[in-house]
Chain A
Amino acid sequence: MRLNLLLMGIGGQGLVKLSEIIARGVAKKNLPVWIYQQKGMAQRGGSVRCEIRMGEVEGSAIPRGSADVVLALELSEVLNAVDWMSEKSLILINTKQIPPIGLRKGGDGGYPKKEEIRELLKQAGIKAIFVDAADLAEKAGLPIAANMVMLGALAALPNIKELIDKKVFRAALVESLSKEVEKNLKAFELGFNQIERKKW
């Protein structure tokens, strides 16, 4: 067994934290786990990437075309992951848009549209699921918990569910966070239910 999970986002979205919770969950199942945290200049608005691999793997680097799951915490960031995708990949995308400073002069000057991204992936035969994680986090009463909504969505994917039970992720979440645990759990559940309701 081997599973490659690629996380994309930008600084301040809690990607590194998310990767730690996932790794904790994997370790709880006694599966070997590797993580690579490419933090870059996260604090100053840069892109962040985390590679997570579990099972029979040597090392943290995901080979091109071998991501089983790509999780993007920001809409446009999913575009930086295409080299790792194949027809077998499942793509989870938070619809949240954070245009870089240069594109913020009103209007969307050059920022890609959700439909363009959907079409791009569809044409390549890649399955993508969009999640309005910001709205769901708001509903959970904790706007910054979009990363936990996405964790919930991830936990509901069939290939992840097979390996790691939702309860394990919940436990890992509780162990990793010191504040607002209840609201984070609620965010997690909202994300989980969103995907769980989907027909595969």
Chain B
Amino acid sequence: MEKRIMSGNEAIAEGALEAGVEVVAGYPGTPSTEVLEVLAERSKSLSDGLHVEWSVNEKVALEIASGASWCGKRAMATMKMSGLNVASDSLASIAYSGCKGGLVVYVADDPSTSAGMVQQDSRFYALLSGIPCFDASSPRKAKFLAKASFEISEKTGAPILLRTTTRVAHSLTEVELGKRSHLSRPSEFEKNLQKYTKASSEWCTVQHEQTLERLKRAGELANELGFNKLSIKGKLGVIASGVSKLYVKELVKENSLELSVLEIETSNPLPREKIEKLLTHSNRVLVLEELEPIIETQVRSMALDCNKRTEILGKLDKDEPRLSRVGEYTYDVVAVGLEKLLGKQPISPFKSKVSGRAGELRVQRPLTFCAGCPHRGTYLAINEAIKKHGYKKGEIIVTGDIGCTILGMNKPFESCWTEVSMGASLGIAQGFRWGGIEKPILATIGDSTFFHAGIPPLINAKQHGVNLTLVILDNSWTAMTGYQPNPGTGLTATREKTNPVDLAALVRGCGIESVRVVNAFRKKEMIDAIYQAMGSKGISVVIARGECAIQSARRKKKFPKVQVNEDKCTGCKRCMTLLACPAIAFEGEKARIDPSLCDGCGVCVCVCPANAIEEVK
């Protein structure tokens, strides 16, 4: 069989193709993004009608996948953990209705916070909505589980939550490749109000019962298919899920340990019989799972039922060391757990001798906008407009939002004060107003984030006549997550042309009268627009337009280059301290622009008081 080195995310895409998936919708978010990107790319060369789209947000993506499944297609929705929060309202309801074609919701958790946002445990959503949750530990397992999820979902009618973590999603190893199956099913949706609406308490009660029935059946099927492998050896046991399984395997081999091991794939529902078997055979059992003690709490309660003497170790131990609920489980965390289980210290003796001193020398790398980024000019203008109104730097609250736009909180701009969740810059800003802040308040948000979740809070501000300036940083792309198209881009996930949504018309359509559209690279116009917006009553919107520099560079859009005229440069360093463009460095007392990095956006030309930065003709 052909093999290829691939990541967990690619493996999930391959598994879905082998299962015959026909509709895939998602919203980008690290570490989940590559699944949909791979499928979008592959769909171009498949002629069997695979539909892949970046939807406007995760809730819409899940609804699209569900609708397709209800017509009999195999369908998948993809998102990061924060996205599942957004989709959860529909998830709970769709879980009650169940599915027809296999329906898989792929979610990636980020316990090590590789990309900002909270260290949440998405398995709770499976418990909350009564759907099965399958956890992958490696790319190989991820592909197997993706494929099996569609089968089990379809056989039982239960939508399935397929979960990875960053470590699984972004690890690569060799995986065997299978074949794309093409199911070509007829599309049919039966009208069935008792199943597809929630209009009566009786229907909902029945749906609830059926949900639990499907969950149970899915658990049984998974075990029949060989999920949750148990091997009994000796009186000490380990229950491991996710990446911990791999570390246990390696440590057992390395140290020739005698242990019983239960590898959990179905974190909901747990394989009760196997757990009970392990408990009756063991004096002591260690539970290894990242984030919250979901398996552990259930195992502890099962232990009380079946064998009161078995001691359970994990995150809820009475005595130290307890395993942590914070961060990812590494090899070393698992080693500590095993040491406790074995009651000896043979496993992880290493303490780095250089650590302490190295810490002092270490260099912090605060993130900054790329050379040529349109957001640089926008935050410069926000700061200048605030100054022009007579306020000091740091006196005016600017609520920030998710994406590259939040880098405006870092040096040298230090404009943004808050970052909560998609669209929250606008809601929080209104709360500040009613909370009693009387000075001007600004909110910044990217275009994709605005489409995703910015419209309801904007309408709300309009309704309540809140005094507030919203700056939409419209770079045409969903940049932070790797430059996906959004409704304003004019492209789909498969790079087909589509009519872009007119952002300014959309904002006006929300009833906002004061709307200014400005070129983000024109410093003076930007300052004027924001200055005026801040001075007017009610809500004003400034749309700062300028394409993401990485994307415009890909199309080889050439800007004129700029360079420093050394005779004029006074060494005042304002270009450094105001802009921090990666292309500008100081050589001795003179600024120098690295031509290989400069994008020629021209923003620095306007900040140099000596006019020393000149365009190269």
Q: Which of B279-287, B303-311, B388-396, B580-588 contacts A (4 or more CB under 8 A)?
A: B580-588
Residue ID in chain A nearest B587 by CB atoms: A106
Distance in Å: Cβ of A159 to nearest Cβ of chain B: 19
Once the chains bind, are A46 and B350 in contact (CB under 8 Å)? no
- Is B531 part of the contact surface with A, judged by Cβ < 8 Å? no
Q: Which residues of B contact A44 (CB under 8 A)?
A: 367-370, 404, 407
- Is A162 part of the contact surface with B, judged by Cβ < 8 Å? no
A105-B576 CB under 8 A given contacts A33-B173, A63-B335, A63-B348: yes
> Of A23, A61, A112, which one neighbours B172 at CB under 8 angstroms?
A23
- Bits for A71-99, please: 1 = Cβ < 8 Å to B, else 0: 00000110110110110000000000001
Once the chains bind, are A35 and B586 in contact (CB under 8 Å)? no
A61-B404 CB under 8 A given contacts A38-B170, A124-B353: no
- Is B331 part of the contact surface with A, judged by Cβ < 8 Å? yes
Once the chains bind, are A82 and B365 in contact (CB under 8 Å)? no
Distance in Å: Cβ of A34 to nearest Cβ of chain B: 5
Once the chains bind, are A59 and B367 in contact (CB under 8 Å)? no
Q: Which residues of A contact B363 (CB under 8 A)?
A: 76-77, 79, 99-100, 103, 110-112
- In whole angstroms, how far apart are the Cα atoms of A100 and B38 in the complex? 33
Q: Which of A79, A105, A110 has the most CB of B within 10 A?
A: A79
Residues from 168 to 188 in B contacting A, C-beta threshold 8 Å:
170-174
Once the chains bind, are B582 and A101 in contact (CB under 8 Å)? yes
> Of B173, B352, B357, which one neighbours A34 at CB under 8 angstroms?
B173
Once the chains bind, are B365 and A45 in contact (CB under 8 Å)? yes
A-B contact count (CB 8 A): 155
> Of B247, B353, B354, B550, which one neighbours A58 at CB under 8 angstroms?
B247
Q: Which residues of B contact A110 (CB under 8 A)?
A: 363
- In whole angstroms, how far apart are the Cα atoms of A101 and B577 in the complex? 10
Once the chains bind, are B550 and A43 in contact (CB under 8 Å)? yes
Q: Which of B114, B365, B366, B584 has the most CB of A within 10 A?
A: B365
10 examples of A-B residue contacts, CB within 8 angstroms: A34-B171, A44-B368, A44-B407, A47-B365, A59-B171, A63-B350, A82-B354, A104-B584, A105-B586, A117-B361
Residues of A in contact with B (beta carbons under 8 Å apart): 10, 23-24, 27, 32-41, 43-47, 56-66, 76-77, 79-80, 82-83, 85-86, 99-106, 110-112, 116-117, 120-121, 123-126, 143
Residues of B in contact with A (beta carbons under 8 Å apart): 5, 7, 114-115, 138, 167, 170-174, 243, 246-247, 249-250, 253, 330-332, 335, 348, 350-355, 357-358, 361-370, 404, 407, 411, 550, 573, 576-577, 580, 582, 584-589, 596
Top 3 nearest A-B pairs by Cβ distance? A65-B350, A59-B246, A106-B586
